[in-house]
Amino acid sequence: MSLRGWLVDRLLLKQPRVRRWLTRLLEGDRDTDVLLLHTPVRVNTVREHGYLRASRMIARSSFLNDEVAALLALAGLLPEADAFVDVGANVGIYAKILHRFSVLRPELRFYAFEADPDTARRLAATLAGTKVEVFAHAVGDRETELEFARGAVSHVSTRRDLVTRYQLDDTFKVRCRPLDAVGLVGRNLVLKIDVEGQELAVLHGAAGLFAAGRVRAVFLDGAADSEQVAAFLRGHGFAFYDARTLLPAAGIPYALLALRHPPP
């Protein structure tokens, strides 16, 4: 334990009267509503001060606020899935965390796709020792070669023709393949797609999987061409939910969880 941690532990955490007095001085003593992973919770600013602090920390972090809630939703689908397919895997946060469920479901398959060869190198390192199959190429609607532009950070790289103010002039070329051509195994696939504007192309490249009824769920973290994406998914019998709250959605929320319901 660091000196600072030791001092906090001895002078604050193990001094309950001091701790309560200081918390009341800083926060007051009242009931208030906070958001924890997009879930409203009523807390007291003194008695549940830890949750109050956690709500502020979560609000400042896009990963804690958005990604963790989506991970919870996807984890809930794995008991009825055959495979998790991570398109735009970046360094493998989703694939690595959800891979934990292979302890309970050894038959589960995992696939991770990353177009940027530099990022794919770190993805492979993250997933070393797991059974996740890593593919260092882009995913789209046909077999081709694409030119990509990197962003200031790795998760916003995208096709050269889709560049925005978030991308740089640093480009690279990479092979592109449709999901239909990869040989995915499983009758109930959960797709996570985070591809910076290329969502519709990825869906079209998986048209055979959708037509065969092999896709159980689709998670989209932001989607360009939202009307066409919605039409494609609805045409294959999917209903829409907000992935962060699991509330039904009429349109496409930023974090979309689309579920295919079996016919009556």
Distances in Å between the Cα of 88 and the Cα atoms of 51, 83, 116, 155 are 33, 16, 9, 8
- Per-residue b or e along 12-42, where b marks 16 or more CB atoms closer than 10 Å to that residue's CB: eeeeeeeeeeebeeeeeeeeeebebbbeeee
CA angle 230, 136, 153 (to 5 degrees): 75
Q: Is the pTM of this model over 0.95?
A: no
Residue 148 predicted with pLDDT over 80: yes
Distances in Å between the Cα of 217 and the Cα atoms of 135, 183, 236, 240 are 21, 18, 11, 10
- CATH T-level assignment (fold) for domain 64-260: Rossmann fold (3.40.50)
Do residues 145 and 176 make contact, with C-beta atoms less than 8 angstroms apart?
A: yes
Q: Alpha helices, DSSP H only, in the chain?
A: 3-8, 16-27, 49-59, 62, 68-75, 93-98, 117-126, 199-204, 207-211, 226-235
Residue boundaries of the structural domains of the chain = 3-60, 64-260
d(CA 33, CA 43): 6
Structure confidence by residue, pLDDT tens digits, 38-80: 999 999 999 999 999 999 999 999 899 989 999 999 999 999 9
Q: Is the dihedral of CA 248, 250, 252, 258 positive or negative?
A: positive
Structure confidence by residue, pLDDT tens digits, 177-230: 999 999 999 999 999 999 988 999 999 999 999 999 999 999 998 888 889 999
